[in-house]
Homo-oligomer: A and B are copies of this chain.
Amino acid sequence: MGNPVLVEVLRGGLVESRHRGAVMVLDADGAAVLALGDVARPVYPRSAVKPLQALPLLESGAAERYGFGDQEIALACASHGGEPAHVEVASRMLARAGLDAGALECGAHWPSHQPSSQALARSGGAPSALHNNCSGKHAGFVCVACAAGADHHGYVKAEHLVQREMRGALEGLTGAGLSADQCGIDGCSIPTWAVPLDKLAHAFARFGTGRGLGPERVKAAARIRAACAAQPYFVAGTGRFCTEIMKLFGARVLAKTGAEGVFCGALPEQGIGIALKCDDGASRASEVAMAAIIARFLPMSEEERHAFDRFLRPSLRNWNGIEVGGLRPTQAVIPGDRRETRDP
Contact = CB atoms under 8 A, between A and B. Distances in A.
Nearest to A193: B12
A181 interface: yes
A16 B187 CA distance: 13
Interface residues of A, number: 58
A187 B324 contact: yes
Contacts of A118: 110, 117, 121
A282 B282 contact: yes
A198 to B, nearest CB: 14
Contacts of A261: 17
B44 A14 contact: yes
B181 A280 contact: no
Contacts of A12: 44, 182-185, 192, 194
Interface stretch (A139-147, A163-171, A287-295, A314-322): A314-322
A237 B261 CA distance: 28
A107 B280 contact: no
Given A11-B44, A44-B11, A344-B182, A188 B17 contact: no
A117 to B, nearest CB: 8
26 contacts: A1-B1, A1-B2, A11-B185, A12-B44, A12-B182, A12-B192, A14-B42, A14-B182, A14-B194, A16-B44, A17-B261, A17-B280, A20-B20, A118-B121, A121-B121, A122-B122, A122-B124, A132-B319, A184-B324, A186-B318, A187-B318, A188-B318, A189-B322, A278-B280, A280-B282, A280-B285
